[in-house]
Structure 1
Amino acid sequence: MIYFCATPIGNLKDIGIRTLEILRSVDLIACEDTRTSLKLLNEYNIKKPLISYHKFNESSKAEELIELSREKDIALITDAGLPGISDPGEVLVKRLINEKIDFRVVPGANAALTGLVLSGLSSEHFLFYGFLKAKSSARKKELEGLKNIKYTLIFYEAPHRLKDSLIDIYEVLGNRSASISREITKLFEETLRGNLKDLLDMDLTLKGEFVIVVEGNSQEEVLDLEELLREKLDLGIKKSQAVKELAKEYKVSKNELYKISLEVDNEQP
């Protein structure tokens, strides 16, 4: 059996009892960085054989772990958080599912959700995006695809890219409410809140991993009913049918659409 175990995102005491029981019971532990994992394992006096499993050998090691799991119990951990969430693990999960091999996921600490609660922004609906692209042009393209989403947006970012990412988020999404959390659960944990322009003007400590939480799009979508009607008519749909379809699709008045259709007719040569 392979167990995907969440580990603390900072404070080593944020580890689950079940995770500790599994780490003590398995035959070996696959980990992202053996040096980082040893700090956790030594803290709880756990001594097990370790296998390196990280993003650079994920594909090649996945098959090896599957073969080993046929006779041994294995725990997969990353440096912090849940394997498969912005960390190695997804490749192995897909292989296990494809080969119809059972596995278990053991939950635990999560930086994205902790950052969301710390932000004070709406947590009713949210989108966890993870890391944005490193290059500004690619990053802005990603953000363009997110700017109309009404849900709270959650990003991870490295300290050396934080300011550039905040600039791009501000330029594409506008001056929305946001928060930046760093070193969550650690000694120097810090959360800054305000609108994006305020945050850019603050003296930011560029150390540790960051969680950026941004308010969703709160602007009402303005429908261009005339353009939508033209698109239907250009497809050869009859005016009465086009009016009926648009009224149902966008929950607007048929009478309003009919008046617009008359204006469109008057413009025809």
Structure 2
Amino acid sequence: MELPSIPVGTPEPGLYIVATPIGNLGDITLRALAMLQGAALIACEDTRVTGKLLNHFGIKARLQRLDDHASPQTRTRIIDEARHSAVVLVSDAGTPLISDPGYRLVREARAAGVMVTSIPGACAAISALAMAGLPSDRFLFAGFLPVKDKARRETLEGLAQVAATLVFYETAPRLERSLRAIAELWPTREVAVARELTKLHEECRSGTAASLADHYAAHPPKGEIVLLIGPPDESEAPALDADAMLRAALAEAGPGKAAGIVAKATGIDRAALYTRALELRGE
């Protein structure tokens, strides 16, 4: 493939947050190539991954690992260099800081008076939202769901009343369990799974969480995954209010009495509320 010409010039000193492809290397932008070529230093999540990207485009650069375990001293050295030369920040793929390292570096650079700017490009969350067919006028990106069942459920419950499409990153081995958890809470919501975005085997599948869980149980997925959940509809409101009411009642009474109080106030079946009260008390 013949590569496009890269703008020539020495970038001004500062910290440049540069998005890189999430799979298809053809998604690199001309500005990103120019910045990678002109940088005095590239701070990256994994030098091996970024090294492969640079080799593909014939770019030689000095690399500095900057992951979640980077020391304050490492960030200080990077910021000091950005005072007098162009420093680029990249992640392994996509837009840096979106569930990737870099937040502390950017915050400290801004506090130090260093120029900070962003070179936009690929982002898996945005690509998935664009193709999933779920409401996109309002959305909430919430990173990765917790690994533990209890923490996962608590996270989902905490987002239950958000009137927007929820967007998560997920790993292939955990996808089915997450879908089962979503199905228990919101059996009727529309859910979408987008994976291998921009790659040869790109897929975006939608349906209920239960139907998707059954599909991926029979066809174990591979690759990077974006999990999207449609916003709540009016039919969910009573169940959501009941949980809040049960929690309040459980603070003052046992499960049986709490279920009776909420049943009287809402008209919801007492036996179902008692079962739910036991679940809430056990969390």
Could you say which TM-score interval applies, normalised by the shorter chain?
0.7 to 0.9
Alignment of 1:71-90 (within 5 A): 71-90=84-103
Instruction: Tell me the residue number matched to 2:219.
Output: 204
Q: Is the 8 A contact 1:143 1:173 kept in 2?
A: no
Distance (whole Å) between structure 2 residues aligned to residue 87 and residue 60 of structure 1? 19
Larger Rg: 1
Q: Distance in 2 between matches of 1:13 and 1:73?
A: 24
- Residue 118, structure 1, aligned to residue 161, structure 2: no
In structure 1, what is the Cα distance between the partners aligned to 2:71 and 2:201?
Answer: 32
Q: What is the CA-CA distance between 1:60 and the residue it aligns to? A: 4.3
Of 161, 184, 187, 1:148 maps to 161
Distance 1:12 1:68 in 2: 29
1:24 equivalent to 2:27? Answer: no
Spell out, residue by residue over 1:120-172, the C-alpha distance to the aligned partner (whole angstroms, 9 max, x if none): 11111111111111111111111111111121111100112111111112222
- Map 1:31-180 to 2 at 5 A: 31-57=44-70, 59-180=72-193
RMSD: 1.9
- Please give the TM-score of this superposition, normalised by the length of structure 1: 0.79
Q: Which 5+ residue runs of structure 2 have no aligned equivalent?
A: 1-13, 242-283
Deviation string 1:190-222 (CA, Å, 9 cap, x unpaired) is: 111111111011033321110011111012646
Q: TM-score, normalised by structure 2?
A: 0.75
Q: Once the two structures are aligned, what percentage of the paired residues are identical?
A: 41
Cα distance change on mapping 1:49 and 1:187 into 2, 3 Å: same
Task: Give the match for residue 15 of structure 2.
Answer: 2
**Contact kept? 1:183, 1:189, Cα under 8 Å:** yes
- Give the distance between the partners of 2:156 and 2:77, measured in 1 at CA: 38
Judging changes above 3 Å, is the alpha-carbon distance between structure 1 residues 58 and 104 closer, same or farther for their aligned structure 2 residues? farther
Measured in 2, the distance between the counterparts of 1:64 and 1:159 equals 37
Measure, in 1, the Cα distance between the counterparts of 2:177 and 2:113.
Answer: 43
Q: Is the 8 A contact 1:30 1:74 kept in 2?
A: yes
Is the 2:189–2:208 contact (alpha carbons within 8 Å) kept by the matching residues of 1?
yes
Check conservation: 1:170, 1:197, Cα contact below 8 A.
yes
Distance apart, 1:69 and its partner CA: 1.4
Aligned residues: 225
The match for 1:182 is: 195
